[in-house]
Amino acid sequence: MINLENKRIVVGITGGIAAYKTIELIRLLRKANAQVRVVLTPAAAEFVTPLTLQAISGNAVAQSLLDPQAELAMGHIELAKWADVVLIAPASADVIARLTVGMANDLLSTICLATSAPIFLAPAMNQQMYRQAITQQNLTALLSRGIQLIGPNSGEQACGDVGAGRMSEPSEIFTALCHHFTVQQDLLGIHVAITAGPTREAIDPVRYISNHSSGKMGFAIAEAFAKRGATVTLIAGPVNLTASPNIHRIDVTSAQEMWQTALESAVKNHIFIGCAAVADYRIADIADQKIKKSAEEMTLKLVKNPDIIADVAHLTEKRPFTIGFAAETQNVADYAKDKLTRKNLDMICANDVSGGQVFGQDHNALHLFWKNGEKALPQADKNTLAEALVSEIMARYRQ
């Protein structure tokens, strides 16, 4: 058993059937010698009792922001300062929304607003609630502020639905917390440039051609590098995502803008990762005014865009360790290996996007190839996958 000797963990429990799992999580934390203080929302108390949680945690359970006894010592501030980590498991859609807008209308949300400790959320909700655009926007906003997510998993839910939204298992949450306390800023001094998202190629002032890339994988890789202390430059196409303040973000629109920015950044960095889905072609002649609909057919002449990742990989001076991505719909391994050689890459990350899978989704799987080697990274949420990918990249880079 991993030793979490005297690590101080505030465990917040919100209303949801997954609350019963948190009892086992607290048992694991206590067995690892962590100190645990439980904060229970009124809705959570309908699923698990304060007496049970007190017995498991070894401490009185905090429930009310307006408890006169607790507030004699400013209890919410005391807990906020006491915590090495604040974990909310399960984290309902409601508490996620309230944290996003900075509300402090109960004890748990007030602690989150008052603490300087890292905050972890283990989301748990119906799959349709999890898929809602507003929930995804809320989670993205919280990630951009440094709040970390554990899960959720996919599978059968208490309501009978099947999909993403199941709270991660207690052992998975426990492992994530252990990782947090053991991971070091081992990439201090490493400079990384990453491209992410799509590009847009203008047809006229109103229209453009583009692709389905959401940018989520590239942003997740940037966050994973930054979390380990690397200096990160993120060259982002037009996406609805935010990045942590410690990441240097450069926004671009077209492939040519991304190409110029990438080449300028590549020579300043040790590692370059081309995760963006760059348009292969652009319009030869962009109309100055909106093209009016008249004829039954319209022909657009396309010219090839520069190959960003190949141009970086073929630099003769200050060439960075270069990783590309291959999103394929067939013969994934063969096409990826061909790109690895033809574009002079150090590593390529291949994924199968047939049937529209991956784009815009929160989960992915990758197959990595390098000279005389390969490794499959199984399907996981993109943040977890990014962390595994960073470890593999650094292993190859250090060789």
What's the pLDDT tens digit per position in 351-374?
887 665 555 577 788 999 999 899
Instruction: Measure the CA dihedral 142/147/150/151, to 10°.
Output: 10
276 assigned ligand-binding residue: yes
**CATH no. for 8-182:** 3.40.50.1950
Q: What was the pLDDT predicted at 381?
A: 84
Spell out a b/e string for 38-77, using b for 16 or more CB atoms within 10 Å of the CB, else e: bbbbebbbebbeeeebeebbeeebbbbbeeeebeeeebbe
Work out the average pLDDT over 170-190.
85
Q: Domain 191-398, what fold?
A: Rossmann fold (3.40.50)
Asked if residue 358 lies in contact with residue 334, where contact means CB atoms within 8 angstroms, the answer is: no
Q: What was the pLDDT predicted at 396?
A: 95
Q: What was the pLDDT predicted at 282?
A: 95
308 assigned ligand-binding residue: yes
Three-state secondary structure call for residue 9: strand
Q: Express each pLDDT in 81-138 by its tens digit.
A: 899 899 999 999 999 999 999 998 889 999 999 888 889 999 999 888 998 999 999 9
pTM: 0.60
Q: What was the pLDDT predicted at 76?
A: 62
pLDDT surpassing 50 at residue 73: no
Which residues are within 8 A (CB) of 386 and not within 5 positions of it... i.e. 6 or more apart?
217, 220, 221, 223, 224
* Catalytic residue, candidates 112, 159, 178, 349: 159
Residue with tokens 């040519």: 256
Three-state secondary structure call for residue 46: helix
pLDDT surpassing 90 at residue 397: yes
Q: What was the pLDDT predicted at 72?
A: 46
Q: What share of the chain in percent tops pLDDT 90?
A: 64
Q: What rounded mean pLDDT belongs to the chain?
A: 89
Asked if residue 332 lies in contact with residue 351, where contact means CB atoms within 8 angstroms, the answer is: yes
Work out the average pLDDT over 326-340.
88
- Among 368, 360, 369, CA closest to 385: 368
Q: Express each pLDDT in 132-145 by its tens digit.
A: 999 999 998 888 78
274 assigned ligand-binding residue: yes
47 assigned ligand-binding residue: no
Distance from C-alpha of 8 to C-alpha of 52, rounded to nearest angstrom: 20
- Pair of tokens at residue 372: 């005389």
**349 among known catalytic residues:** no
Q: List the chain domain ranges.
A: 8-182, 191-398
Q: What was the pLDDT predicted at 245?
A: 75
CB atoms within 10 A of CB 221: 28
- Among 165, 178, 124, 172, CA closest to 3: 178
- 67 compared with 144, residue with greater pLDDT: 144
Q: What was the pLDDT predicted at 2?
A: 62
Asked if residue 62 lies in contact with residue 89, where contact means CB atoms within 8 angstroms, the answer is: no
Instruction: Give yes or no on whether 8-182 and 191-398 have one common fold.
Output: yes
